[in-house]
Amino acid sequence: MCGIVGYIGDKKAPPLLIDALKKLEYRGYDSSGVGIVVPGDGNIVLRKAHGKIQNLQNLLRSKPFPDSSLGISHTRWATHGVPNKVNAHPHRDCTGKILIVHNGIIENYESLKAALQKKGHKFVSDTDTEVIAHLIESHYKKDLLAAVQKTIKQLKGAFALGVICSDHPDTLIAARIGSPLIIGLGKNENFIASDVPAILEHTRKVIYLKDGQMAKLSKDNVEVFTFAGKSVKPKIDKVTFSLDAVQKQGYAHFMLKEMHEQSDVLKQMVQKRIKGNTFHLEELSTLDKELKNITNIIIVACGTAYHAGLVGKYVIEALSGIPVTVDVSSEFRYRNPIVGKKTLVMAVSQSGETADTLAAIKEAKAKGAKIVSICNVIGSSIARESDGVLYTHAGPEIGVASTKAYTAQLCMFYLIAAKLGVVRGVVAKKDIDNVIQALKHIPALYKKMLKTKNAIARVARSNAHFGCFLFLGRNVNYPSAMEGALKLKEISYIPAEGYAAGEMKHGPIALIDEYRAVVCIAPESDTYEKMISNIQEIRSRKGKVIAIATEGDEAIKKHATHVLYVPKTHKLLTPLLVALPLQLIAYYISVKRGCDVDQPRNLAKSVTVE
Ligand code: F6R
């Protein structure tokens, strides 16, 4: 949610800042801007544009930047103030000397703004961010770091900041609390960025700035401090994923690439975790005693990760007998949830930065619960806040619609459920082993399913004109129906609802007519016959049915309008397999309708504000 880049070094800052910013465009794409300090005359030059970064690039062709080796850039997902050029970052103070970029929300900005206005500060934007520039100005007495430090003490909320000042052409200041920020360490150059892909082309050495830390960067030095000004020796990490991981590599979209990557992501998870008849989740071994004694599990997550959590509930209950509830993070945190010392709270988050999920686990921790998280981004805030972290290692997910992170989360839930099953011992070991052994075959089945993508594309395109979709599933595939609907609506803007098929008669059936398409998830299961009855009810009301069924199920053809097949697997694992056709249906419909697959309107990849 908003992307920040800052550069100080020997190279030309403007093109570098734009290139790096493009790698963060998934974080927000309402408007963008770059500000630089011109060496020599010490002037600040600012360029901003409404809309995508391409618009800023177009502007720079007619109004190029002078040379500079210090600058900051920002791509915005609007919170306060409509997306336009004035509200785009960077923002500056009254003197025009101080420039800032910000990711997050300043909760007390209205009172700060009123006080600053009383003192004569002139505001030009509707953003919360602009107060930061004016506050720094009000504290500035030639020491930029000290002015930022004093400013931070007055701010409430979440922020990652980049600050430059024309009096200091050799200094870039960074600070963070609640919003991610990394420092990239180069040779005669240093960077700040919201995420690693922005700087990967230049360096792999990074410092993950922690909450409550700030930094002063010059081209050949980086000093890290606490907000109180205490010097900190930062840990330098080495990024291991390749540049290819953040490039499209010939695919039309990141989403398509990431769907294809799923077989490798799952393969690597399965190979790492399952050796012969045993499986490994060492990260949880320190919690063995707690896991034996927990009375219940609460899973908290948002969006697609929430759907993964819902599948997790079915699987954990089936294999371990431990009662599980799943809560949308934003609901959990505001409803005084009943969390005991024997409750295990699990957070699921690709980014590890989702503000509501982070707040939910802080709330649960305060109530004495142990926290285990499933995260994709290493060192993310949710991971750091947890007692145990299970990384999915799915690699960077750039497409805004989550695909490979979702299936990796599902895979992790099967492993966790098996682990809990073994620890609790209420389900026969052989039943747990059957799931684990079947999980080993899933990566190969993914490869096989990807070969059928053209058939899925044909079905998707021939249904792309429908104005409304219903997705129905039962039992462990009820969450699959919700996920299928979410994928479709977010990237094609077609209204879509995911329902438990048994609920169809309690309302959604009123939607059915010849203008509706219904995706019925009907793999082999204990409720298969019930799904067939649902399909017949839809067909007799002229609804079109796209059925997702198990290979070899010829009978379903006489009921459904189209049938897409997934290979046979253990019935608990079917959500892993049906995920792919559901993702592909959404993808091909989105492409057919000319939508922006990777950057759907109004969305951003990492939701770091409430
Ligand atoms: C949908 C999607 C979102 C995220 C949600 C949580 O395709 O990507 O619904 O799943 O914003 O994000 P994370 O997993 O980063 O906490």
Q: Render pLDDT for 275-315 as a digit per residue (tens, 0 to 9).
A: 887 888 888 888 888 888 999 999 999 999 999 999 999 99
| Count of positions (residues) in the chain | 610
- 2 assigned to active site: yes
**This model's pTM is above 0.85:** yes
CATH number 3.40.50.10490 given to 452-610: yes
pLDDT of residue 88: 95
Q: Render pLDDT for 530-577 as a digit per residue (tens, 0 to 9).
A: 999 999 999 999 999 999 999 999 999 999 999 999 999 999 999 999
Give the chain's largest Cα–Cα span. Answer: 79
- Counting from 1 in the atom list of ligand 1, the atom nearest the Cα of 382 is 16
- Which overall architecture, per CATH, does domain 248-449 show? 3-Layer(aba) Sandwich (3.40)
The two three-digit tokens of residue 75, written as one number: 């791509």
Average the pLDDT over 406-418 and give the result.
97
Which residue shows structure tokens 């945190």? 333
pLDDT of residue 241: 82
CB of 89 within 8 A of CB of 161?
no
- Counting from 1 in the atom list of ligand 1, the atom nearest the Cα of 606 is 15
Average the pLDDT over 23-30 and give the result.
90
Average the pLDDT over 248-272 and give the result.
96
Which residue shows structure tokens 């082999």? 524
Q: What angle do CA 234, 184, 608 make, to 5 degrees?
A: 85
Q: How far is the CA of 360 from the centre of ligand 1 (A)?
A: 15
DSSP letters along 453-475, please? Answer: HHHHHHHHHHTTT-S-EEEEE-G
Strand-pairing partners, residue 37, are 44
Q: How far is the CA of 137 from the centre of ligand 1 (A)?
A: 37
27, 195, 300, 350: residue to mutate for ligand 1 pocket, most atoms within 8 A of CB? 350
Using DSSP, state whether 602 is helix, strand or coil: coil
Given a cut of 90, whether residue 521 has pLDDT beyond it is yes
Given a cut of 80, whether residue 49 has pLDDT beyond it is yes
- Counting from 1 in the atom list of ligand 1, the atom nearest the Cα of 306 is 10
The two three-digit tokens of residue 281, written as one number: 């989740």
CB of 481 within 8 A of CB of 471?
yes
DSSP state of 168: -
pLDDT of residue 416: 96
pLDDT of residue 285: 81
Buried b (16+ CB within 10 A) or exposed e, 387-411: bbbbbbebbbbbbbbbbbbbbbbbb
d(CA 591, CA 401): 14
Q: Give the Cβ contact number of residue 272 at 10 Å.
A: 11
Q: How far is the CA of 305 from the centre of ligand 1 (A)?
A: 6
Give residue ranges with CB within 6 A of ligand 1. 302-305, 349-351, 354, 357, 401-402, 486, 490, 606-607
pLDDT of residue 80: 86
Using DSSP, state whether 126 is helix, strand or coil: coil
- Counting from 1 in the atom list of ligand 1, the atom nearest the Cα of 607 is 11
**Residue ranges, CATH 3.60.20.10, the chain:** 3-239
pLDDT of residue 1: 73
d(CA 160, CA 165): 17
φ and ψ of 601, to 5 deg: -60, 150
Q: Give every CB contact of residue 410 below 8 A, 6+ residues apart in sequence.
A: 308, 311, 312, 575, 576, 579
Nearest one of 166, 94, 158, 165 to 130, comparing CA atoms = 94
Q: Give every CB contact of residue 111 below 8 A, 6+ residues apart in sequence.
A: none
d(CA 461, CA 402): 21
**Residue ranges, CATH 3.40.50.10490, the chain:** 248-449, 452-610
- 605 assigned to active site: yes
Q: Give every CB contact of residue 38 below 8 A, 6+ residues apart in sequence.
A: 44, 45, 66, 67, 68
Nearest CA to ligand 1 atom 3: 303
Given a cut of 80, whether residue 610 has pLDDT beyond it is no
179, 300, 302, 409: residue to mutate for ligand 1 pocket, most atoms within 8 A of CB? 302
Nearest CA to ligand 1 atom 5: 303
Q: How far is the CA of 403 from the centre of ligand 1 (A)?
A: 10
Active-site option among 22, 97, 571, 605: 605
Average the pLDDT over 575-600 and give the result.
97
What Cα–Cα distance (Å) separates residue 40 from each residue in 66, 67, 169, 427?
11, 10, 9, 73
- Counting from 1 in the atom list of ligand 1, the atom nearest the Cα of 304 is 10
CATH class of 3-239: alpha beta
Given a cut of 90, whether residue 592 has pLDDT beyond it is yes
Q: How far is the CA of 482 from the centre of ligand 1 (A)?
A: 13
Q: What angle do CA 355, 359, 362 make, to 5 degrees?
A: 145
402, 583, 590: residue to mutate for ligand 1 pocket, most atoms within 8 A of CB? 402
Q: How far is the CA of 483 from the centre of ligand 1 (A)?
A: 11
